[in-house]
Amino acid sequence: MTIRGKIWKFGNDVDTDVIIPARYLNTSDVKELASHCMEDADPEFARKIARGDIIAAGSNFGCGSSREHAPIAIKEAGISLVIAESFARIFYRNAFNIGLPILELPQAGGAIAQGDDVEVDIETGSITDHTTGLQYQANPIPPFMRELLTAGGLVPYVASRAARTTRR
């Protein structure tokens, strides 16, 4: 699976309240959540991005509360991938649970710039920055997590496994 998109850059310690402000958590409408994605960092973010774009960030992306709303808002806004130096543990798992690909790249915060055109091979972790011509190697996604992404998240993965089990 290959993803190519424009980079939107954020710094270190982007917490879940920045990703989706708590004042919008009274809805379960994913389109409404998406329309407020990253609003406190960039009020126009959800209107400026294009489907398939990529977020690149520094360390500890997704820290703060354990809400699933954060990766849901990112994915539903149209972001196809988040590349960061590191992720908060619960955000990391929530992202895979809802089918949002994420990659850890130690130099993500400094090497990839806002607006760069980047292509990523999800299976290998190979990243090509077509703007600069530079290549990077992210930590590959573990095989089980790739299975979750392929299925579309944890719920579809479990449902497909259950369906296979009942057919036997």
The SS3 call for residue 78 is coil
Instruction: Please measure the distance between the N-terminal and C-terminal CA atoms of the chain and give it in whole angstroms.
Output: 30
pTM value surpassing 0.85: yes
Distance of alpha carbon 19 from alpha carbon 36, whole angstroms:
8
Q: Where are the beta strands (DSSP E) in 98-165?
A: 102-104, 117-121, 126-129, 135-137
pLDDT given for residue 1 in this prediction: 86
Confidence of residue 129 (pLDDT cuts 50, 70, 90): very high
Distance of alpha carbon 3 from alpha carbon 101, whole angstroms:
10
Distance of alpha carbon 119 from alpha carbon 30, whole angstroms:
27
Distance of alpha carbon 156 from alpha carbon 95, whole angstroms:
14
Q: Hunting for tokens 């990077």 — which residue is that?
A: 136
Give the model confidence (pLDDT) of 53-92 as tens digits. Answer: 999 999 999 999 888 999 999 999 999 999 999 999 999 9
pLDDT given for residue 168 in this prediction: 61
CA-wise closest residue to 103 among 39, 159, 149: 149
Confidence of residue 167 (pLDDT cuts 50, 70, 90): low
Residue 123 predicted with pLDDT over 70: yes
Q: Hunting for tokens 């959800």 — which residue is that?
A: 46
65 near 10, Cβ under 8 Å? no
